Structure 1
Amino acid sequence: MGIERSSAPGADPQPIPKEQVIDTSHGVQLNENTLKKFYIGSIDQGTTSTRFIIFDGVGQPVAQHQIEFAQHYPHSGWHEHDPKEILSSVEQCIENATQLFIDQGHHISDIKAVGITNQRETTMVWDTNTGEPLHNAIAWPDTRTKELVRELKEKEGAEKLHDICGLPLSTYPSSVKLIWLLRHVDAVKQAYDEGRLSFGTMDTWLLYHFNGGKKNDLHVTDATNASRTMFMNLHNLEYDDRLFDFFGLERAKLNLPKIVPSSCPTSFGALTYGPLKGIKIAGCLGDQSAALVGQQGFKIGSAKNTYGTGCFLLYNVGEQPVISKHGLLATIAYHFGGKRKPVYALEGSIAVAGSGVKFLMNNLGFITHSHKISDLAASVEDNGGCVFVTAFSGLFAPYWIDDAKGTIFGITQYTERGHIARATLEATCFQTKAILDAMELDSGHKLAELAVDGGMSNSNLCMQTQANIIGIPVDRPAMRETTALGAAIAAGFAVDIWKEFDELKEINQKDRMVFEPSMSKEESAKMFKKWGRAVQMCRGWLDSDETNGD
């Protein structure tokens, strides 16, 4: 494949398009005329907004609608969502996007299936008998469980958990959020004691309601989401009693979702109301797995980085899990069922990416819109000596420092808003570099190129900075709704729109852009060394008796 590269120094880098030279000598080719007649809906339920996108069979969006919903922060470090508001946002997005689809002259019957992708780890509990939520959803970045995690780390058997489920003990997974709810919310504890506590992640909550709620009581999750709970054995994709025993839970008292493949024509039911009533839900993937699928990360060694509210780098390691020794997570990349084996990934999770930009906008008033961050950062030549460790929720991979606090180093009278804006973008890029270094150690291979997507990837300056810091090219698609596309692909496989991964190789490949490194390795290493020093200095701000639930 011929590729044109860019090497774009300066404040406003302009990448050069990546040429598309389709290899027609072998493999299955898309029949575009046929596939453009098939449509797939995709529910993308994220951390700060919900969208519904209708894709055609060649992966292009034809209609979509997006709604932001409220973020609730009852105390410092707490982060919650109203589960009914989230459900309503999905319903509104489906209704509005479907109307746009109809207005274009299409028919609802043209939509062959719907897929779901969702924020992971966010924890839902509801009454099995009534279907009513027992508490707000506790969102994945929430850090109220810090003291609980410290307690659990001291418990016998804690060191064995990582090998079973692929996740380290931290505030991140759903398990510790559930334990907190059982300890602090009487209604949740009572429901558990009486055997009527339903637990699930956001996919399970949405599937439950769209399938008629209590009436049909569909209670399922896919393997990618289940792998984020800390209750699933990563090796056999089943719940593991050793994990429940460690957390002091009785499985008989919990209504746990059935774990199924990510692509299935029957397991996820169908929409029972709304404009798409009767249409199958045929695919379900956690958002970061969906983005890997949307970027066609089907080969061992392929990787993607999604710059959303947080930042998540997934690296395909094949059909056997790799348990990290260097601070990364082992997770299910995707499981398309049938005769296909589950595919695993190493993951590096960064708690703060786009949310750091929103912090500058909402809390400090630096900018009026998120997309203006690049202009502000480009108003200065460099970070002016500032390093911003955006540890608002502690630091995730590969550091796992729960007691880290957001800290800006190097402020002088010279410092301007532009320096802090640039340091905010660099924080995500530095953490990505740390994750890639850990992945190289775990996998034994150095990544040759990094595919990117998500809101912050729209910034040429940020992506050029990323290429400079990691020292390898950064490859960005023109259509960056790759998370929603991944869910659509999972659903499309289930209903035979596609049958082989090879059929997808041309999807979303046109008009990609590549950012080449334009900084010396010596200068990049110098910057990263300073970042590492800042990370060590941001830890341990509060003693345990000073946290006050934070």
Structure 2
Amino acid sequence: MSKQYIIGIDQSTSGTKLILVNEQGEIVYKDSLKHQQYYPPQDNWIEHDPVEIYDNVKALINKLMNKTIVPSSSLKALSITNQRETVLAWDKHTGEPIYNAIVWQCTRTQEVCNHLKMNGYEALIKSKTGLTIDPYFSATKIQWLLENVESAKEKIANLDLLVGTIDSWIVWKLTGGKTHATDVTNASRTLLYNIYSLKWDRELLDLFRIPEEMLPEVKNCDEIYGRVSDVNILLKDIPISGVIGDSQAALFGQRCFEEGATKATFGTGTSVLVHTDKLMETEKGLVTCVAWGSRWNSQLCH
């Protein structure tokens, strides 16, 4: 029987990496491309060009295929990890973003967050999402896009607009616009996803004035998200299976499968996650989110 391989795409804050992994879990090929960081003149605004990000994903896959390291018939799946909380909005017909992606580090929505805290919404939001009100998370960034980008209102009215985190953008592009989906770990970092019911939360969507119709479907990390069908990619029809936020991917990759197991990741930011088997009330800045979700069970982490 011929050997089988998985392509892994890690789309991070500073660049995009591709690895080719064999059946023994060994990396047999890797490559990477950096993307531009944009700093508008306003204080602490940070953006990425989502078109550049996807072009880099495409270029890395095509470079791998041109090298003919392994036959395409041996490639069994493509998996994605991504920078969390970074969001964008795009036209579902043209595939064109209406604005740059707003990066997780961006604090342009600090005043909105302060207003929500002053009006007593912190307890409600934490009781549903496990998170604190902070511009770090996605909801106020999405709200900013919908309320401040000129073309957004018309596209919303015509049901032409989609929004999502970077993983959902890459999946949508790879599948030629056939799949608008995210995974539970990315959804759990948006301030919009109820980690108890495992659904987009209607009360929170109304609070942030975000129509649910434009949000991605939420799937488990190990589901099939669709098949690669972008005509500009040399890789065709392999399943996209395995989508998970980068910090949770590290938790899983370091085999933190038991309660209390902890990992620390040092990249653009430092991330410490602790696996917990139960829902916990946390204080002093700790937050709770989904560690991973599978067709068999879901786990939480702090």
Specify the TM-score bucket, using the shorter chain as the normaliser: over 0.9
One-letter identity of the residue aligned with 2:200: Y
In structure 2, C-alpha distance between the alignment counterparts of 1:249 and 1:211, rounded to whole Å: 25
Q: 1:247-296 CA deviation, whole Å, 9 max, x = no partner?
A: 23343xx41101110001x3x10111422211111110011111111111
In structure 2, C-alpha distance between the alignment counterparts of 1:49 and 1:174, rounded to whole Å: 20
One-letter identity of the residue aligned with 2:238: I
In structure 1, C-alpha distance between the alignment counterparts of 2:209 and 2:61, rounded to whole Å: 40
In structure 2, C-alpha distance between the alignment counterparts of 1:99 and 1:64, rounded to whole Å: 14
Aligned partner (choices 48, 58, 63) of residue 24 of structure 2: 58
Aligned length: 299
Aligned partner (choices 307, 326, 341) of residue 297 of structure 2: 341
Q: Does 1:70 align with 2:33?
A: no
In structure 2, C-alpha distance between the alignment counterparts of 1:242 and 1:150, rounded to whole Å: 19
In structure 1, C-alpha distance between the alignment counterparts of 2:154 and 2:139, rounded to whole Å: 18
Q: Does 1:41 align with 2:2?
A: no
- Structure having the larger proportion of residues in helix: 1
One-letter identity of the residue aligned with 1:52: L
Q: What residue in structure 1 maps to residue 284 of structure 2?
A: 326
Q: Does 1:153 align with 2:114?
A: no
- Distance verdict in 2 for CA 1:244–1:65, change over 3 Å: same
One-letter identity of the residue aligned with 1:43: I
**Secondary structure of 1:109's partner?**
helix
**Secondary structure of 2:151's partner?**
helix
What displacement does 1:70 show?
0.5
Aligned partner (choices 46, 54, 61) of residue 94 of structure 1: 61
Q: What residue in structure 2 maps to residue 462 of structure 1?
A: none
What displacement does 1:212 show?
0.9
One-letter identity of the residue aligned with 2:15: S
Q: What residue in structure 2 maps to residue 283 of structure 1?
A: 242
In structure 1, C-alpha distance between the alignment counterparts of 2:31 and 2:60, rounded to whole Å: 5
**Secondary structure of 1:329's partner?**
coil
Q: What residue in structure 2 maps to residue 187 of structure 1?
A: 151
What displacement does 1:141 show?
0.3
**Secondary structure of 2:252's partner?**
helix
Contact 1:63-1:98 at 8 Å conserved across structures: no
**Secondary structure of 1:140's partner?**
coil
Q: Percent identity?
A: 36
What displacement does 1:299 show?
1.4
- Distance verdict in 2 for CA 1:250–1:86, change over 3 Å: closer
Q: Does 1:232 align with 2:193?
A: yes
Q: Does 1:271 align with 2:228?
A: yes
In structure 1, C-alpha distance between the alignment counterparts of 2:128 and 2:157, rounded to whole Å: 27
Q: 1:127-178 CA deviation, whole Å, 9 max, x = no partner?
A: 1232211110001100111111111212243321111001100011110101
One-letter identity of the residue aligned with 1:262: C
Q: 1:177-200 CA deviation, whole Å, 9 max, x = no partner?
A: 011122221212332233322110
How do residues 251-400 of structure 1 correspond to structure 2 at under 5 angstroms?
A: 251=212, 254-264=213-223, 266=224, 268-273=225-230, 274-318=233-277, 320-337=278-295, 340-346=296-302
One-letter identity of the residue aligned with 1:221: T
Larger CA deviation: 180-189 vs 282-291: 180-189
Contact 1:53-1:97 at 8 Å conserved across structures: no
Q: What residue in structure 1 maps to residue 132 of structure 2?
A: 168
In structure 2, C-alpha distance between the alignment counterparts of 1:199 and 1:225, rounded to whole Å: 13
For structure 2, which runs of at least 5 residues remain unmatched after alignment?
none
**Secondary structure of 1:284's partner?**
strand
In structure 2, C-alpha distance between the alignment counterparts of 1:37 and 1:235, rounded to whole Å: 41
One-letter identity of the residue aligned with 2:56: S
In structure 2, C-alpha distance between the alignment counterparts of 1:304 and 1:37, rounded to whole Å: 31
Q: 1:371-405 CA deviation, whole Å, 9 max, x = no partner?
A: xxxxxxxxxxxxxxxxxxxxxxxxxxxxxxxxxxx
In structure 2, C-alpha distance between the alignment counterparts of 1:294 and 1:158, rounded to whole Å: 32
One-letter identity of the residue aligned with 1:258: E
Q: Does 1:82 align with 2:49?
A: yes
Contact 1:64-1:93 at 8 Å conserved across structures: no
Q: 1:25-76 CA deviation, whole Å, 9 max, x = no partner?
A: xxxxxxxxx9x93211101101111011001122211011100010000122
Q: 1:388-426 CA deviation, whole Å, 9 max, x = no partner?
A: xxxxxxxxxxxxxxxxxxxxxxxxxxxxxxxxxxxxxxx
In structure 1, C-alpha distance between the alignment counterparts of 2:26 and 2:110, rounded to whole Å: 42
Q: What is the TM-score normalised by the length of structure 1?
A: 0.53
**Secondary structure of 2:116's partner?**
helix
**Secondary structure of 1:148's partner?**
helix
Q: What residue in structure 2 maps to residue 114 of structure 1?
A: 78
Q: What is the TM-score normalised by the length of structure 2?
A: 0.94
In structure 2, C-alpha distance between the alignment counterparts of 1:156 and 1:302, rounded to whole Å: 34
Aligned partner (choices 65, 76, 98) of residue 134 of structure 1: 98
In structure 2, C-alpha distance between the alignment counterparts of 1:296 and 1:95, rounded to whole Å: 31
Q: 1:412-444 CA deviation, whole Å, 9 max, x = no partner?
A: xxxxxxxxxxxxxxxxxxxxxxxxxxxxxxxxx
- Structure having the larger proportion of residues in strand: 2
One-letter identity of the residue aligned with 1:172: Y
In structure 2, C-alpha distance between the alignment counterparts of 1:41 and 1:300, rounded to whole Å: 30
For structure 1, which runs of at least 5 residues remain unmatched after alignment?
1-33, 347-550
**Secondary structure of 2:280's partner?**
coil
What displacement does 1:94 show?
1.2
How do residues 433-512 of structure 1 correspond to structure 2 at under 5 angstroms?
A: none
**Secondary structure of 1:283's partner?**
strand
Contact 1:181-1:189 at 8 Å conserved across structures: no
**Secondary structure of 2:170's partner?**
helix
Q: What residue in structure 2 maps to residue 221 of structure 1?
A: 182
In structure 1, C-alpha distance between the alignment counterparts of 2:256 and 2:122, rounded to whole Å: 33
- Distance verdict in 2 for CA 1:111–1:323, change over 3 Å: farther
